[in-house]
């Protein structure tokens, strides 16, 4: 197996099962599950090979010329692998969870088909080697997630789908204009360490600033930067596994990841700094962080509260990107992974409450910790991680962001981080308090899955959140170990900054 | 239609006529002249009449497509008549004088058609003129109540309608091994053109008649 | 070249022959013959394209006389691309039509002869290098198309056919008047003879001829505001017919407009005229998309989408006129790519639409619930075709949009960028209007029957081709460049 | 001015009259007649301009013969459509309302 094909195989390992699943009869449950899990495991295998290779300095590049001057490039570099590994691992867990969650529900072939396409798109976004390839998978992601958002087919779901499409397609259009413009100005722009635009003549600076605005606006829609975030809370009508995937890996992350690529590998962090692009970006991210947290505070609907929390948390990544210095970079990048693990845990748990007891609202959660201790334990770990309590994953992110802010000479960012952490605590701790310490108020809204021996809910619903909650703890505790997200982020940061540090 | 729109269209059409007239009065000398070339190549064309030479040889390809256009129009009428009538209406009985006249004239018209076909090689005439006379004979017979309408043409009639085009196509393709499409070897040009014209006369006669006869039986 | 098996003349003779034979065979017969013959035509078109790539553009003197006395045919890259598109669309549609007319026999009696003549007219038109001969091919094309619109009978289709006939006859009349003026000025109708004769200071008659011919072509291409005849004609015909008309017939007249503009009348073109064409194209994009969005009948929605997509083709004129050569090349490539991508995608979309109508028994967007569950492949094909029309990657439509956007930005004509982007979003709106409905569960009282497999797979083949065009479009652009080297 | 040119000028007038008729006359039979007038105008221009230098030119004459046959074909189809429309709607004119607003007839 030659090297160029590995990145393509990673993409195909979910694309092919997805396409097959579309045409499976509804009743072929076993075959569908086998295809899903085989795809997920094969993908992990390929990624493992590439992780080892990249660690040892190998390059995996797949290139196909679509039109003269327009190449489709899949490039598994360190940054790509960070995101790909996250997607592949969480896909496996989410697939397991979704199999349990949707047991007996209609239209499962369609659901898992688009689910696989969605992961294909995410993996493609991660490994895109230039803006065109990125755009391709970015749009595919839009198309693949739309049917998932409207999966339930209710009026509310259709309306949410409408809003989702309007936002994301408009964002895609902005991204397209920026990309075409950039290609016209600079030719084919591959993602390379340190960026490649600084060689352009100085007259182009004005255009480059405008292009940056277009690109960030286009990416900001999916990354849910305020004021482009309106679709995200509405998209909560989707089934829980979809919300989990949308928030933790697929859509919002694709946006945030795109911003990382544009700043570091198209413009180059130094060049972006010299064009005075980083400060506005940091301010936009800060506003989003605070605004999202504030809105989360007032949501009674659990999933909505988590959604606004996502709006806020994803911008930590953007903030890290906008901090000029390797530590800020590390903070942003590692949060890409940490936020994913923590948020997916929270959504799994929210799904469990809803599926098991019919709990959708925070106000219905009194005493749920005694009925569902394991789920609530996982939820608590995720929530505490989000707040940034050591030694959980979120603490590591916030620590590096804070130090990075000092390094970049933006001490005001510390205030943002502090305020945000306080707000995080303000909207998460009351939930934990209700769940653990308040007595249950009689019967549950709609108990669907009864207690069976030790199992507080269906096993396939319980194992994934416990696993990801454990990961929240592990990534925090063992942040210094080899192959931990943090050390991988360090590897990337060193390579990005080596490109220009003499 | 609104009055101002009518006025506007009338104005624009008059303007177009004036512009065309002005353009025609300001034409330069011809850059290319074809009459001389036609005359020079007339001997090799297989016919003695220049218009027939252009129609069936120099620009015979146009004619080939044009025959297809004619057949296509008939197909269109057939397509419509499938929905218009469930069965072929018998012709209304006509005045005996008309019937007698038609019986007398029809053979004569066939004869005239044959003459026109043959003379086309030397003088004004040819397949279209001959076919038109044949068609007129058909229409006359129908008006005299002697022919049924053609709602659903039988196989034989379909073959006759297609014959001219098929013969033309065969002759056109037969030229390929020696040269190009529609290339007539000079020695065979005369008989080949006559063959094509004979096939065309029959098919054009049937087609033109068919354009009338196919819709003759529609409900009123 | 005096080879008996030369693909060039056979591309015209073969469909004429099988069209005629299908008529002789009798009502409804000839489908199998047609599929075999179109497959052969496809092979011939590929062979011709190969010849062109190897040894450049070809001129073919019919009858051996040569222009100006005889009629010349000419095959260059542009013609070859259109020929390939024609056969590539026709083959799956022929397969589709056999299944469609088996399930829905209205209009099947004369479908095959008409289609044979239609394809002959298209191939002849793409290959012709003689203005009068082009007139005859235009009439052949127009009458075949009108006949196809009318084959199903009924009040709406016959009305549409009548309207369409007047439009197409007026268009050809304008073309013929232009030809008469050109012959009256120069004494020839051969493109090869005329092209060096026409220069910027040409007589008024030539300018008038250019304007008349172009106007006639715009009418036949249904460019806004001449689109009035298209939606009822394309929306009222049986699905295979709508597909042929939307995918190919309007492309033929666009092709002629492009050829005249870039070659014969190139010295007469002005920026103002090019911008006017672009404005009409932009209006078509916006107006057609908005009207598509308001339709309640599925087929009419797709037909209005054609009105909009035609607009994209005409954006190529301002982008290719009096701009640097590189910009013009990429605009031309984008425009032709759009023609090809739209041809494949719209054929797929009409085919999928036809299957949905056969399955639900009605042409109503609000009654599409359950289609997604019962006809997943058909709906998937509709979606893929929609992706191409929206211009999302990877698809032929995206490649086209990419090239057009690139040349718009390069030449500083940013207003076309805005039009294209807004058009793409509107397209998404009407495509998802259909998809959303079809995803819903079946409403009580509605039925969704299965349709023959051939219907599903032929539509899918077309849709897949429109997507793959986006990934493997480079050879097509290489072919397009044959005969255009400056 | 040669006689041939006079024919061409008359052709221009006929074309304009035919065009106006085609656009302005709502009655289908009149529209079809107008189309034929328009076509005759074009034929006159083709032959007339082609022979404006006084030489007889068989090429436009042959073209006009081809054109006449095409016009006959188109006229026949138009008449058949018009008659069918009369059968279906009882009117010899195209409905002016938006055609897509009509119900599909099945």
- Which residue in C428, C441, C477 is closest to A169 by CB distance? C428
Distance CA D86, CA C347 (A): 33
- Which residue in C180, C181, C232 is closest to D100 by CB distance? C232
Neighbours of chain B (3+ CB pairs under 8 A): C, D
Confidence at residue A189, expressed as pLDDT on a 0 to 100 scale = 83
Distance CA C103, CA C360 (A): 12
- Which residue in C377, C383, C393 is closest to A23 by CB distance? C377
- Is B in contact with D (3 or more beta carbon pairs below 8 Å)? yes
Residue B92 has pLDDT above 80, yes or no: no
| Per-residue pLDDT tens over the stretch A405-452 | 998 888 999 999 999 999 999 999 999 999 999 888 777 888 887 777
Confidence at residue B219, expressed as pLDDT on a 0 to 100 scale = 65
Residue A494 has pLDDT above 90, yes or no: no
Q: Number of helices (H) and strands (E) in chain A: give both, helices first.
A: 20, 2
Confidence at residue A216, expressed as pLDDT on a 0 to 100 scale = 95
| Per-residue pLDDT tens over the stretch C430-440 | 999 999 999 88
* Inter-chain residue contact A146 with C432, CB threshold 8 Å: yes
* Inter-chain residue contact A72 with C394, CB threshold 8 Å: yes
CB atoms within 10 A of CB B134: 27
* Inter-chain residue contact D84 with B128, CB threshold 8 Å: no
Give helix A29-55 / helix A108-127 axis angle, nearest 10°: 10
Min distance C332 CA to chain A CA atoms (Å): 14
Among the listed ranges A475-489, C371-385, D46-60, which one has the minimum average pLDDT value? A475-489
Min distance A67 CA to chain C CA atoms (Å): 5
Distance CA C111, CA C19 (A): 9
Whether B12 and chain C come into contact, CB under 8 Å, resolves to no
Residue C131 φ/ψ, nearest 5 degrees: -60, -40
C190 DSSP β-pair partners = C130
CB atoms within 10 A of CB C80: 27
* Closest to A139 measured CA to CA, from A157, A158, A161, A120: A120
- Predicted-complex ipTM score: 0.92
* Closest to B182 measured CA to CA, from C12, A228, A195: C12
Confidence at residue B91, expressed as pLDDT on a 0 to 100 scale = 62
CA distances A31 to A24, A93, A463, C373, C418, Å, are: 9, 18, 22, 19, 47
Distance CA D47, CA B133 (A): 25
Confidence at residue C21, expressed as pLDDT on a 0 to 100 scale = 97
| Per-residue pLDDT tens over the stretch C86-113 | 999 999 999 999 999 999 888 899 999 9
pLDDT category, D11, cuts 50, 70, 90? very high
Q: What is the mean pLDDT of residues C413-421?
A: 95
Distance CA A435, CA A432 (A): 5
Distance CA A145, CA D37 (A): 60
Instruction: Give the residue ranges of DSSP H helices in A187-325.
Output: 205-223, 231-234, 240-248, 251-261, 269-274, 278-297, 302-322
Distance CA A225, CA A171 (A): 12
Min distance D78 CA to chain C CA atoms (Å): 7
Higher-confidence position of A110 and C177: C177
Residue A161 has pLDDT above 70, yes or no: yes
Confidence at residue C325, expressed as pLDDT on a 0 to 100 scale = 85
| Per-residue pLDDT tens over the stretch C231-268 | 999 999 999 999 999 999 999 999 999 999 999 999 99
Confidence at residue A455, expressed as pLDDT on a 0 to 100 scale = 80
Q: What is the mean pLDDT of residues C193-206?
A: 94
Min distance C267 CA to chain B CA atoms (Å): 18
Residue B94 has pLDDT above 80, yes or no: no
Residues of C whose CB is below 8 A from A106: 441
CB atoms within 10 A of CB A204: 13
* Inter-chain residue contact B59 with D74, CB threshold 8 Å: no
CA distances C289 to A316, C262, C430, D12, D64, Å, are: 40, 28, 7, 39, 42
- Which tokens sit at C458? 């032929």
Q: Which of C135, C144, C173, C180 to mutate to test the interface with D (most CBs of D within 10 A)?
A: C180
Show the domain range for C468.
282-486
3-state secondary structure chain C: CCCCCCHHHHHHHHHHHHHHHHHHHCCCCCHHHHHHHHHHHHHHHHHHHHHHHHHCCEEEEHHHCCCCCCCEEEECHHHHHHHHHHHHHHHHHHHHHHHHHHHCCCCCCCHHHHHHHHHHHHHHHHHECEHHHHHHHHHHHHHHHHHHHHCCCCHHHHHHHHHHHHHHHHHHHHHHHHHHHHHHHHCCCEHHHHCCCCCCCCCHHHHHHHHHHHHHHHHHHCCCCCHHHHHHHHHHCCHHHHHHHHHHHHHHHHHHHHHHHHHHCHHHCCHHHHHHHHHHHHHHHHHHHHHHHHCCCHHHHHHHHHHHHHHHHHCHHHHHCCCCHHHHHHHHHHHHHHHHHHHHHHHHHHHHHHHHHHHHCCCCHHHCCCHHHHCHHHHHHHHHHHHHHHCCCCCHHHHHHHHHHHHHHHCCCHHHHHHHHHHHHHHHHHHHHHHHHHHCCCCCCCCCCCCCHHHHHHHHHHHHHHHHHHHCCHHHHHHHCCCCCC
* Closest to A226 measured CA to CA, from A112, A315, A105: A315
Q: What is the mean pLDDT of residues C295-313?
A: 96
* Inter-chain residue contact B24 with D20, CB threshold 8 Å: no
- Which residue in B19, B37, B75 is closest to C110 by CB distance? B75
Cβ-count burial of C264 within 10 angstroms (0-12 exposed, 13-18 middle, 19+ buried)?
buried
Q: Compute the Cα dihedral for B96, B101, B104, B107 and give only its sign.
A: negative
Min distance A38 CA to chain C CA atoms (Å): 24
Higher-confidence position of A459 and D102: A459
Q: What is the mean pLDDT of residues A266-279?
A: 90
* Closest to D73 measured CA to CA, from C118, B65, B169: B65
Min distance D100 CA to chain B CA atoms (Å): 21
Residue B216 has pLDDT above 90, yes or no: no
Confidence at residue D99, expressed as pLDDT on a 0 to 100 scale = 42
- Which tokens sit at C214? 């172009």
How many CA atoms lie less than 13 Å away from B197 in the CB half-sphere? Answer: 29
R_g of chain B, CA atoms, integer Å: 22
Confidence at residue A55, expressed as pLDDT on a 0 to 100 scale = 82
Confidence at residue A459, expressed as pLDDT on a 0 to 100 scale = 85
CA distances C345 to A135, C101, C312, C354, C394, Å, are: 21, 21, 14, 14, 13
Q: Compute the Cα dihedral for A348, A354, A357, A363 and give only its sign.
A: positive
* Inter-chain residue contact D100 with C235, CB threshold 8 Å: yes
Look over chain B and give the mean of its residue pLDDT values, rounded to a whole number.
Answer: 90
* Closest to C470 measured CA to CA, from C374, C420, C379, C402: C402
The segment with the largest mean pLDDT, out of A69-83, A444-458, C435-449, is A69-83
Q: Which residue in D has a C-alpha nearest to residue B36's C-alpha?
A: D57
- Which tokens sit at C142? 């127009």
Residues of D whose CB is below 8 A from B8: none
List all residues of chain B from 78 to 107 with a beta carbon under 8 Å from chain D.
80-81, 83-84
C73 DSSP β-pair partners = C60, C128
Helix or strand (DSSP H, E) at A62: strand A61-67
Q: What is the mean pLDDT of residues D79-103?
A: 76
Q: Which of C8, C18, C65 to mutate to test the interface with B (most CBs of B within 10 A)?
A: C65
Whether A188 and chain C come into contact, CB under 8 Å, resolves to no
* Closest to C257 measured CA to CA, from C203, C208, C314: C314
- Which tokens sit at A162? 């409408």
- Which tokens sit at D84? 């069918």
Helix or strand (DSSP H, E) at A66: strand A61-67
Domains in chain D: ranges and CATH: 3-92 (1.10.287.3510)
List all residues of chain C from 424 to 463 with a beta carbon under 8 Å from chain A.
424-425, 428, 432, 436, 439-441
Helix (H, G, I), strand (E, B), or coil: what is residue B98? Answer: helix
Q: What is the mean pLDDT of residues C355-379?
A: 91
A61 DSSP β-pair partners = A75
Confidence at residue B89, expressed as pLDDT on a 0 to 100 scale = 58
Q: What is the mean pLDDT of residues A265-273?
A: 89
Distance CA B74, CA A277 (A): 71
* Inter-chain residue contact C156 with D99, CB threshold 8 Å: yes
Indicate the number of domains in chain C: 1
* Inter-chain residue contact D73 with B128, CB threshold 8 Å: no
- Which tokens sit at B119? 């003379």
* Inter-chain residue contact C4 with B57, CB threshold 8 Å: no
| Per-residue pLDDT tens over the stretch A194-223 | 888 888 888 889 999 999 999 999 999 999
Distance CA C389, CA C93 (A): 19
pLDDT category, A498, cuts 50, 70, 90? low
Residue with tokens 């074309």: D15
Q: Which residue in C has a C-alpha nearest to residue B59's C-alpha?
A: C70
* Closest to C11 measured CA to CA, from C109, C64, C80: C80
- Maximum pairwise Cα distance, chain B: 64
Distance CA B128, CA B134 (A): 10
Distance CA C341, CA C337 (A): 6
Distance CA B110, CA B105 (A): 9
Cβ(A169)–Cβ(A229) below 8 Å? no
Q: Compute the Cα dihedral for C426, C427, C428, C431 and give only its sign.
A: positive
* Closest to B206 measured CA to CA, from B131, B140, B142: B131
Min distance A66 CA to chain C CA atoms (Å): 5
Q: A98 Cβ partners below 8 Å, 6+ apart?
A: A111, A112, A115, A239, A241
CB atoms within 10 A of CB A188: 14
Q: Domain spans of chain A? A: 277-502
């Amino acid at each position: 197996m030659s090297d160029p094909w590995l990145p393509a195989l990673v993409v195909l390992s979910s694309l092919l099962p997805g396409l097959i699943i579309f045409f499976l009869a509804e009743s072929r449950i076993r075959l569908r599950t086998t295809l899903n899990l085989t795809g997920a495991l094969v993908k992990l295998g390929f990624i493992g090979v590439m992780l080892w290779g990249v660690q040892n300095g190998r390059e995996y590049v797949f290139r196909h010329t679509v039109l003269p001057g327009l190449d489709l490039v899949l490039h598994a570099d360190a940054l790509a692998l960070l995101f790909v590994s996250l997607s592949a691992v969480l896909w496996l867990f989410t697939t397991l969870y979704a199999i349990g969650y949707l047991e007996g529900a209609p239209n499962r072939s369609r659901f898992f088909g688009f689910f696989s396409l969605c992961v294909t798109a995410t993996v493609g976004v991660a490994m895109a080697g230039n803006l065109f390839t990125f755009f391709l998978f970015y749009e595919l992601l839009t198309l693949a997630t739309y049917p998932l958002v409207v999966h339930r087919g209710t009026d509310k779901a259709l309306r949410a789908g409408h809003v989702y499409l309007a936002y994301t397609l408009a964002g895609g259009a902005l991204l397209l204009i920026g990309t075409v413009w950039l290609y016209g100005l600079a030719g084919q722009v591959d993602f390379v360490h340190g960026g490649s635009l600084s060689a352009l003549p100085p007259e182009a600076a004005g255009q480059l600033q405008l292009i940056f605005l277009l690109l960030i606006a286009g990416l900001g829609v999916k990354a849910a930067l305020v004021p482009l975030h309106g679709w995200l809370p509405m998209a909560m009508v989707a089934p829980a596994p979809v919300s989990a995937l949308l928030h933790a890996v697929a859509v919002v992350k694709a946006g945030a990841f795109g911003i990382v690529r544009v700043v570091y590998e198209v413009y180059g962090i130094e060049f972006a700094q010299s064009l005075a692009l980083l400060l506005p970006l940091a301010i936009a991210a800060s506003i989003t962080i605070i605004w999202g947290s504030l809105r989360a505070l007032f949501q009674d609907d659990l999933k909505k509260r988590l959604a606004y929390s996502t709006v806020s948390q994803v911008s930590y990544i953007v903030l890290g990107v906008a901090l000029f210095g390797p530590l800020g970079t590390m903070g942003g990048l590692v949060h890409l992974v940490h936020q994913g693990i923590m948020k997916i845990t929270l959504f799994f748990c929210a799904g469990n409450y809803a599926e098991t007891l019919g709990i959708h609202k925070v106000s219905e959660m009194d005493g749920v910790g005694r009925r569902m201790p394991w789920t609530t334990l996982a939820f608590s770990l995720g929530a505490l991680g989000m707040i940034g309590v050591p030694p959980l994953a979120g603490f590591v992110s916030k620590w590096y962001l804070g130090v990075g802010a000092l390094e970049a000479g933006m001490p005001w960012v510390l205030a943002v981080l502090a305020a945000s952490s306080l707000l995080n605590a303000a909207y998460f701790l009351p939930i934990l308090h209700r769940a653990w310490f308040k007595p249950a108020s009689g019967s549950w809204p709609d108990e669907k899955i009864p207690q069976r021996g030790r199992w507080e809910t269906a096993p396939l619903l319980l194992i994934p959140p416990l696993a990801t909650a454990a990961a929240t703890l592990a990534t925090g505790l063992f942040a210094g170990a080899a192959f931990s997200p943090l050390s991988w982020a360090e590897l990337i940061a060193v390579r990005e900054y080596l490109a220009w540090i003499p | 239609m609104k009055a101002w729109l009518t006025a506007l269209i009338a104005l624009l059409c008059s303007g177009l006529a004036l512009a065309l007239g002005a353009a025609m009065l300001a034409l330069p000398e011809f850059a290319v002249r074809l009459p001389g070339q036609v005359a020079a190549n007339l001997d090799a064309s297989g016919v003695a009449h220049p218009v027939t030479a252009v129609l069936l040889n120099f620009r015979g390809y146009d004619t080939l497509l044009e025959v297809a256009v004619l057949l296509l129009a008939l197909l269109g009428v057939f397509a419509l008549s499938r929905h218009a009538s469930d069965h072929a209406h018998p012709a209304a009985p006509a005045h005996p004088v008309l019937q007698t006249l038609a019986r007398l004239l029809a053979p004569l018209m066939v004869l005239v058609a044959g003459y026109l076909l043959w003379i086309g090689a030397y003088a004004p005439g040819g397949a279209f003129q001959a076919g038109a006379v044949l068609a007129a004979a058909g229409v006359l017979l129908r008006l005299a109540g002697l022919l049924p309408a053609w709602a659903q043409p039988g196989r034989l009639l379909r073959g006759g309608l297609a014959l001219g085009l098929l013969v033309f196509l065969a002759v056109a393709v037969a030229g390929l091994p020696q040269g190009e499409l529609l290339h007539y070897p000079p020695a065979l040009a005369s008989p080949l053109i006559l063959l094509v014209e004979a096939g065309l006369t029959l098919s054009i006669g049937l087609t033109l008649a068919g354009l009338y006869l196919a819709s003759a039986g529609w409900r009123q | 070249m005096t080879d008996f098996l030369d693909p060039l003349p056979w591309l015209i003779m073969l469909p004429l022959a099988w069209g005629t034979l299908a008529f002789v065979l009798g009502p409804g017969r000839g489908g199998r013959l047609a599929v075999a013959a179109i497959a052969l035509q496809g092979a011939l078109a590929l062979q011709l394209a190969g010849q062109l790539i190897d040894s450049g553009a070809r001129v073919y003197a019919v009858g051996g006389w040569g222009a100006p006395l005889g009629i010349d045919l000419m095959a260059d890259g542009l013609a070859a691309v259109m020929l390939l598109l024609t056969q590539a669309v026709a083959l799956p549609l022929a397969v589709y039509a056999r299944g469609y007319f088996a399930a829905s026999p209205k209009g099947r009696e004369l479908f095959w002869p008409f289609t044979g003549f239609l394809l002959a007219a298209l191939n002849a038109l793409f290959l012709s290098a003689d203005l009068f001969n082009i007139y005859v091919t235009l009439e052949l094309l127009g009458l075949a198309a009108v006949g196809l619109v009318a084959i199903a009978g009924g009040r709406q289709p016959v009305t549409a056919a009548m309207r369409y006939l007047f439009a197409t006859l007026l268009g050809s009349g304008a073309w013929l008047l232009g030809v008469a003026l050109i012959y009256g000025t120069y004494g020839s109708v051969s493109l090869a003879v005329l092209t060096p004769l026409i220069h910027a200071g040409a007589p008024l008659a030539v300018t008038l001829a250019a304007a008349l011919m172009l106007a006639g072509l715009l009418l036949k291409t249904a460019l806004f505001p001449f689109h009035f005849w298209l939606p009822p004609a394309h929306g009222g015909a049986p699905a295979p017919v709508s597909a042929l008309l939307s995918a190919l017939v309007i492309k033929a007249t666009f092709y002629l407009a492009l050829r005249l503009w870039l070659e014969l009348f190139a010295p007469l073109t002005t920026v103002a005229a090019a911008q006017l064409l672009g404005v009409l194209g932009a209006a078509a994009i916006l107006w057609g998309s908005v009207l598509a969005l308001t339709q309640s009948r599925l087929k009419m929605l797709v037909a209005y989408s054609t009105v909009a997509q035609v607009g994209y083709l005409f954006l190529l004129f301002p982008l290719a006129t009096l701009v640097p050569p590189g910009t013009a090349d990429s605009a031309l490539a984008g425009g032709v790519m759009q023609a090809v991508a739209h041809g494949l995608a719209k054929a797929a979309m009409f085919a999928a639409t036809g299957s949905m109508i056969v399955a639900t028994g009605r042409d109503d967007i609000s009654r599409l619930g359950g289609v997604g569950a019962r006809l997943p492949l058909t709906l998937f094909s509709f979606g893929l075709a929609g992706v191409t029309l929206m211009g999302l990657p990877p698809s032929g439509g995206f490649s086209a949009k990419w090239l057009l956007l690139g040349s718009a930005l390069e030449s500083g004509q940013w207003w076309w960028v805005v039009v294209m982007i807004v058009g793409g979003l509107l397209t998404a709106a009407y495509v998802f209007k259909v998809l959303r409905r079809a995803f819903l569960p079946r409403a009580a009282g509605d039925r969704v029957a299965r349709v023959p497999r051939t219907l599903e797979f032929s539509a899918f083949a077309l849709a897949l081709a429109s997507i793959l065009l986006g990934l493997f479009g480079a050879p097509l652009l290489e072919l397009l460049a044959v005969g255009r080297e400056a | 001015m040669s006689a041939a040119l006079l024919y061409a000028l008359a052709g221009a007038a006929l074309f304009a009259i035919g065009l106006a008729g085609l656009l302005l006359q709502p009655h289908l039979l009149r529209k079809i007649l107008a189309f034929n007038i328009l076509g005759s105008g074009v034929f006159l221009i083709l032959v007339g301009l082609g022979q404006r230098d006084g030489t007889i030119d068989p090429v436009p004459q042959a073209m006009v013969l081809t054109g006449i046959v095409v016009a006959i074909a188109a006229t026949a189809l138009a008449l058949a459509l018009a008659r069918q429309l009369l059968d279906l709607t009882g009117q010899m004119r195209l409905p002016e309302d938006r055609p897509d607003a009509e119900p599909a007839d099945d």
